[in-house]
Amino acid sequence: MKIAVEKDIREIDLRANEKYRISQIVLMENSGIALAEEVKKHVNRHSKVIIVVGMGNNGGDGLVCARHLHNESYSVKIFMIGNLKKLSEHANQNFEIIKHLNIPVEMINDIGGVKKLGKLIAYDDVVVDCIFGIGITKDVEGVYELAIDAINDSEGYIISCDMPSGIHASEGLVMKTAVRADKTVALCLPKVGNIMYPAAEYNGELVVKKISVPNELIAEMSLPLETISHEFIKQLIPKRQRNSHKGVYGKASIIAGSFGMTGAAILCGKSALRSGVGLLKLIIPESLHTIITTSVPEAVTVPLAETRKGVFGINQVEKLVQTCDAADVIAIGPGCGQNAEMNEILRHLITLVDKPVIIDADGLNTLAKHVDVLENKLNKVVLTPHPGEMSRLTNLPLEVINQHPIRTASEFAHKWQVIVVLKGARTVVALPSGQIYINVNGNPGMATAGSGDVLTGIITSLVAQGLTPENAAIAGVYIHGYSGDLMVSQKGEYGLIAGDLIEGITHVFRNLELEV
C-alpha cells in the first residue's frame, strides 16, 4: 500500500478537484461518513460520542461525522478548540449545518473548557479526535496541549481522524505531546505518521478508509513510499520446477566469522540454506573450520590461512577473490571483526569482483572508514545497517538516524547508488531509484543477537536464486519479519532467539508454496 506525506495529500486534493471535479467539500463529506462508520462500531446504548474538533479540515471531518451520527439518533456533543474566525471554508459550511441541527457545541478557550471536557467523558463514551490531522509542524502548546492531556486521561475509547493530534504526519514524530488513540482512521492513504515509530505507538489499531479518491489519481501520482505487501512477496518468490538441480538455485559465497564470533557465520549460513540457495560456500578463517563444518555440514567451507588466530591473512585476499568469482552473490561481514585485512578484502570485492555484494555488520563498520570505495563498485551493493552502523556510515548523530530513518536511508541510497536496508521496528528499504519500502511485520522478540545475520543469509540466498538485489532486499526483510511473527507465537517475545528465526523461515516458505 502506498504511504503519503502531507504534500502528497495536498496534491491529491488539488488533482481530485482540478482533473476529476471532486471538490474538497465532497472529500470532507466522505471522510466524515467513513469516520462515523468506525465510531458506530464502538458505541453502545449507554455511550455518548464526544467529538473534539479544531479549526482546519480535520475539524470539518469531525463536524460531518457528528451530523451523520446525530441523524442516526446517537448522543453527540462537540467541543471546538480555537478561534471560529479561523475556521476553514469547508469546515465552516459544515459548522453552519451543525448550528441549524442544534447539536450541542462547547468552545474550549481556557482551562475551564478543558476541565469540562475531561469531566464529561465516561467509561462507555467514544472520544473522536479531530483537532489537527496532518497539518501540525510545531510543538503542541497551550490549550491544545491541555485538551490532548484531558483526552488521554479519560477512560473513553479514543478514535483519531486521519492522524492522532500532535503527530507529524510526514516524519512520524511526536510534537511534544499527542493523542494516544485506541484506533486511528486514516483517510485515503496511510501517512508516514501512521506507520513509523515513535508515532505508530499512538495510532492504536490502524484502519485505512477510502473516500472516493479515484484509483487512477493515486496511480498517476509519484508516491515513492509504500509498505511491503504479502501479495507482492508471493509474486517475487520463484516457483520451483520438478526437473531441477542445485545449480538452478544459485551459488552464494559468505565471508564470515572470526575468533569468538563463529555464531554469526553459522546463523548466516544456515539462514541462506533454509532460504533455498542451491550451493553455499562459507569462507572462513582456518581455525574456525571444525566448529563451522560441524554446525553447517550442508555448506562447502573454504578455510583460509590466518595472519593471527581467527583473522584472514592479508596474503589470502587474491585467493578469496578468486573463490568468490564463481559465486552468483557474495555476502561479507557477519562476525568478521574489524581489521586492516577486512578493509583490503572489502575493497577488492567491491571494485574487482563483478557480482552483487551484501554487506553487513563488521563489513559495514569497515566500509564506514572508506565509504568512497562505493564510487568504484562493479555491481550492485546491498547494505544492511542498524541505526548505529548507519550513524557510522553517514557521520550523522544516532538521534538524527532514529528521528529521520526514511530520509537518511533514501539520501544515502541515492548518493552512493546502493540499496540500503535500515533495520529497525519499521525496517526501511531504500533503493537508488528513490523508491522506498517499509516493512510493517515483525515484533520486539526479534531484537536479539544474531537476528541481523539471519536477515543477511535470507537476502543473499534470494539473490543467488535469481531475484534482483532490490527485490531480494524487499522480500528478505518481509520473510525475516514473517518468520519472527510465526515463531513468537511459540516462543514468546522474551524467549525468541535468532536460531528460532531460521526454523521460522521453513514455515514461511512452506506457507508461500501453499498459497501459490
Residue 478 annotated as part of some ligand binding site: no
Residue 129 annotated as part of some ligand binding site: yes
Residue 134 annotated as part of some ligand binding site: yes
Query: Where does 353-464 have alpha helices with state H?
Result: 362-367, 387-394, 398-403, 405-416, 451-464
Q: Are 459 and 358 in contact (CB under 8 A)?
A: yes
Residue 447 annotated as part of some ligand binding site: no
> What pairing do the DSSP bridges indicate for beta strands 183-187 and 157-161?
parallel
Residue 19 annotated as part of some ligand binding site: no
Report the DSSP beta bridge partners of residue 191. 4
Residue 456 annotated as part of some ligand binding site: no
- The contacts of residue 489 (CB under 8 Å, 6+ apart) are none
Q: Are 278 and 345 in contact (CB under 8 A)?
A: no
Residue 247 annotated as part of some ligand binding site: no
Residue of 366, 361, 297, 364 whose CA lies nearest to 498 = 361
357-359 β-sheet, strand order: 225-227, 436-438, 428-430, 419-422, 381-383, 357-359, 329-332, 251-255, 279-285, 300-304
Residue of 13, 16, 125, 24 whose CA lies nearest to 79 = 125
Residue 124 annotated as part of some ligand binding site: no
Residue 227 annotated as part of some ligand binding site: no
Looking at residue 191, the DSSP 8-state letter turns out to be: B
Residue 252 annotated as part of some ligand binding site: no
Residue 423 annotated as part of some ligand binding site: yes
Residue 453 annotated as part of some ligand binding site: yes
Residue 250 annotated as part of some ligand binding site: no
Residue 409 annotated as part of some ligand binding site: no
- Collapsing DSSP states into helix, strand and coil, what is residue 26? helix
Residue 162 annotated as part of some ligand binding site: yes
Question: Ramachandran region of residue 211, left (φ > 0), alpha (ψ -120 to 50) or beta?
Answer: alpha
Residue 61 annotated as part of some ligand binding site: yes
For the record, the C-alpha cell of 314 comes out as 592479508
CA distance 5 to 11: 10
Residue 57 annotated as part of some ligand binding site: yes
CA distance 492 to 494: 6
Residue 144 annotated as part of some ligand binding site: yes
Residue 133 annotated as part of some ligand binding site: yes
CA distance 95 to 101: 10
Residue 153 annotated as part of some ligand binding site: no
Residue 138 annotated as part of some ligand binding site: yes
CA distance 22 to 411: 35
For the record, the C-alpha cell of 315 comes out as 596474503
Q: Are 418 and 373 in contact (CB under 8 A)?
A: no
Report the DSSP beta bridge partners of residue 76. 49
Residue 492 annotated as part of some ligand binding site: no
**Crossing angle for the helix pair 340-352 and 317-324, nearest 10 degrees?**
40
Rounded to the nearest 5°, which phi and psi values hold at 475?
A: -65, -35
Looking at residue 140, the DSSP 8-state letter turns out to be: -
Neighbours of 226 (CB within 10 A): 16
Residue 327 annotated as part of some ligand binding site: no
Residue 8 annotated as part of some ligand binding site: no
Residues annotated within a binding site for AMP: 423-427, 452
Residues annotated within a binding site: 57-61, 129, 133-139, 144, 162, 165, 264, 335, 386, 423-427, 452-453
Residues annotated within a binding site for K(+): 58, 129, 165
Residues annotated within a binding site for (6S)-NADPHX: 57-61, 133-139, 144, 162, 264, 335, 386, 453
